[in-house]
């Protein structure tokens, strides 16, 4: 996808700095204006996806034609004419350019409409990490997998869909990123409006957002080169999410080609949302822990119908392995990892040690 963006400001130094950084993003085509009259003429004669402008570029309000999908006012306290654009999207002018980029693409993703411009050359692999056993180190293993895959130069997006996210220890929680994606999925299912889901209608009209752009606007650089989007931090947001929402957003992210691998850290329950994740996943890594109670949990899990449904996608990883560890063998799927007990070591150190010691057969897990 190519986004045509006009940047307009009378401050030539500011425009130069802003455009220099934005030009590093491949999907952007930059046009620069330092005169209000010339900008207005360009708006009238050309087609821009985004116009990013200082309100003082003109003493009168600019007239944006229908050819401009998203006008964005660069807000600052010293601007005299900001009040003329109170109805438009506003972005703080003096901040990191990377933040301006993220805010703009998040807003643009919601007005861009459906785009079939998917990167089909990049086939996204989705790996779900699950265990019916609480306290088995599932999040640690999920992060270790993401770290190891990213270390190979592969683009990795880490998603935590637990009721309450636990990965913020290494990937800080700054905003409820997944909630924004869920809201987009609901909008898609509603045909572009929030509220009760409607059935029927023209499917093309229901494709309202560009998930690839939205993800790039939401994701943040995490540990070891992975990207991540923050998980749920309120039970109410999780409870408001449906299986249909989750299935929609995961399938749309996969189709967007925004990354090569998605790692999903699941909760230990298996509600409708969890089942939707298992259905979308290309591989399911089931984490086991030694002990009488974990063994009983795994035995009961192995008897469930959903295991037979997805068994061909499942692999096992043993965690907290010690010399006398005894694991159940009821789940008859390949064993592709044995992680020894690192005790009370810090989480980041454990994650790095798992990768360094090669305790997970990452390449085999990633085989289709």
Same domain assignment for residues 62 and 139: no
310 within 8 A of 278, measured Cβ to Cβ: yes
- Show the low-confidence residues of the chain (pLDDT under 70): 1, 113-122, 191-209
pLDDT for the residue 107 = 86
pLDDT for the residue 238 = 92
Same domain assignment for residues 75 and 217: no
Same domain assignment for residues 164 and 310: yes
Q: DSSP secondary-structure letter at 205?
A: H
> Can you tell me the distance from the alpha carbon of 285 to that of 308, in angstroms, rounded to the nearest whole number?
15
State the angle between helix axes of 97-111 and 177-189 in degrees (0 to 180), rounded to the nearest 10: 20
Mention every residue, 6+ apart, whose C-beta is less than 8 A from residue 343. Answer: none
> Can you tell me the distance from the alpha carbon of 275 to that of 261, in angstroms, rounded to the nearest whole number?
20
> Which structure tokens are listed for 99?
């933040």
Q: Among 111, 137, 159, give the residue marking a domain's end.
A: 111
Q: In what order do the strands lie in the sheet with 314-321?
A: 220-221, 227-229, 156-160, 261-265, 125-130, 283-289, 314-321, 335-340
pLDDT tens, residue by residue, 15-65: 999 998 888 887 889 999 999 999 999 999 988 999 999 999 999 999 998
Q: Among 81, 111, 141, give the residue marking a domain's end.
A: 111
> Where residue 35 sits, what CATH number does that domain have?
3.40.50.10850
User: Which residue(s) pair with 91 in the sheet?
Assistant: 74
Same domain assignment for residues 58 and 140: no
Q: Any idea which residue has 């993800």 for tokens? A: 215
Q: How far is CA 294 from CA 132, 142, 300, in A?
A: 8, 19, 10
Long-range contacts of 317-320 (CB under 8 A, 24+ apart): 317/141, 317/285, 317/286, 317/287, 317/288, 317/360, 318/288, 318/289, 318/290, 319/136, 319/137, 319/140, 319/141, 319/287, 319/288, 319/289, 320/136, 320/137, 320/289, 320/290
pLDDT tens, residue by residue, 107-154: 887 777 544 444 444 579 999 999 999 889 999 999 999 999 999 999
pLDDT for the residue 210 = 73
> Can you tell me the distance from the alpha carbon of 139 to that of 145, in angstroms, rounded to the nearest whole number?
10
> Can you tell me the distance from the alpha carbon of 73 to that of 58, in angstroms, rounded to the nearest whole number?
12
Same domain assignment for residues 212 and 133: yes
Same domain assignment for residues 347 and 223: yes
> Where residue 264 sits, what CATH number does that domain have?
3.40.50.300
pLDDT for the residue 201 = 43
Domain assignment of residue 305, yes or no: yes
User: How many structural domains does the chain have?
Assistant: 2
Give the residue among 264, 104, 240 at the shortest CA–CA distance from 179: 240
> Which structure tokens are listed for 350?
């454990």
Domain range holding 345? Answer: 125-365
Domain assignment of residue 338, yes or no: yes
């Amino acid at each position: 996808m190519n986004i045509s963006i006009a940047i307009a400001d009378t401050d030539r130094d500011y425009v130069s700095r802003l455009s220099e950084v934005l030009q590093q993003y491949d999907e952007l085509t930059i046009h620069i204006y330092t005169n209000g009259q010339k900008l207005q003429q360009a708006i009238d004669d050309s087609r821009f996806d985004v116009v990013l402008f200082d309100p003082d570029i003109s003493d009168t309000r600019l007239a944006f034609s229908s050819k401009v999908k998203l006008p964005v006012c660069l807000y600052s306290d010293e601007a005299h004419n900001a009040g003329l654009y109170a109805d438009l999207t506003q972005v703080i002018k003096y901040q990191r350019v990377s933040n301006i980029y993220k805010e703009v693409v998040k807003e643009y993703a919601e007005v861009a409409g459906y785009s079939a411009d998917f990167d089909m050359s990049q086939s996204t692999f989705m790996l779900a990490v699950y265990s019916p056993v609480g306290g088995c180190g599932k999040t640690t293993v999920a992060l270790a997998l993401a770290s190891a895959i990213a270390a190979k130069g592969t683009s990795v997006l880490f998603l935590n869909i637990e009721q309450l996210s636990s990965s913020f220890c290494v990937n800080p929680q700054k905003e409820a990123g997944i909630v924004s994606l869920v809201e987009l999925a609901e909008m898609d299912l509603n045909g572009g409006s929030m509220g009760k889901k409607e059935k029927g209608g023209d499917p093309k009209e229901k494709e309202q957002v560009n998930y690839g752009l939205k993800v790039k606007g939401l994701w943040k650089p995490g540990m070891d080169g992975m990207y991540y989007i923050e998980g749920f931090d309120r039970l109410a947001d999780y409870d408001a999410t449906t299986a249909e929402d989750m299935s929609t957003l995961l399938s749309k992210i996969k189709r967007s080609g925004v990354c090569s691998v998605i790692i999903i850290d699941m909760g230990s329950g298996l509600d409708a949302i969890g089942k939707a994740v298992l259905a979308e996943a290309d591989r399911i890594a089931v984490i086991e822990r030694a002990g009488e109670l974990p063994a009983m949990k795994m035995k009961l899990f192995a008897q469930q119908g959903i295991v037979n449904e997805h068994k061909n996608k499942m692999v096992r990883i043993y965690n907290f392995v010690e010399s006398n560890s005894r694991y159940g063998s009821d789940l008859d799927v390949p064993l592709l990892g044995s992680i020894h007990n690192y005790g009370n070591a810090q989480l980041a150190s454990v994650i790095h040690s798992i990768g360094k010691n090669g305790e997970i057969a990452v390449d085999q897990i990633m085989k289709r």
